[in-house]
Amino acid sequence: EAGVAQSPRYKIIEKRQSVAFWCNPISGHATLYWYQQILGQGPKLLIQFQNNGVVDDSQLPKDRFSAERLKGVDSTLKIQPAKLEDSAVYLCASSSNALVDEQYFGPGTRLTVT
Partner 1 sequence: AQSVTQLGSHVSVSEGALVLLRCNYSSSVPPYLFWYVQYPNQGLQLLLKYTTGATLVKGINGFEAEFKKSETSFHLTKPSAHMSDAAEYFCAVSVAESGYALNFGKGTSLLVTP
Q: Which residues contact 100 (CB under 8 A, 6 or more apart)?
A: none
- Output the smallest distance, CB 40 to partner 1, in A: 7
Among the listed ranges 20-28, 34-42, 62-70, 75-83, the one in contact with partner 1 (CB under 8 A) is: 34-42
| DSSP state string for 9-28 | SEEEE-TT--EEEEEE--TT
Q: Check residue 111 for interaction with partner 1 (CB under 8 A).
A: no
When asked if residue 25 is in the footprint of partner 1 (CB under 8 A), the reply is no
Contact between 96 and partner 1 per CB under 8 A: no
How many other CB atoms are found less than 10 A from the CB of residue 92? Answer: 26
* Length of the chain counted residue by residue: 114
Query: Per-residue x/- marks for partner 1, 36-75, CB under 8 A?
Result: ----xxxxxx--x-x----xx-------------------
Query: How many residues of this chain interact with partner 1, rule: CB under 8 A?
Result: 28
Nearer to partner 1, 5 or 20 (CB): 5
Near partner 1 by CB under 8 A: residue from 32, 67, 79, 91? 91
Dist CA 86 CA 11 (whole Å)? 12
Backbone phi, then psi, for 70, in 5-degree steps?
A: -70, 140
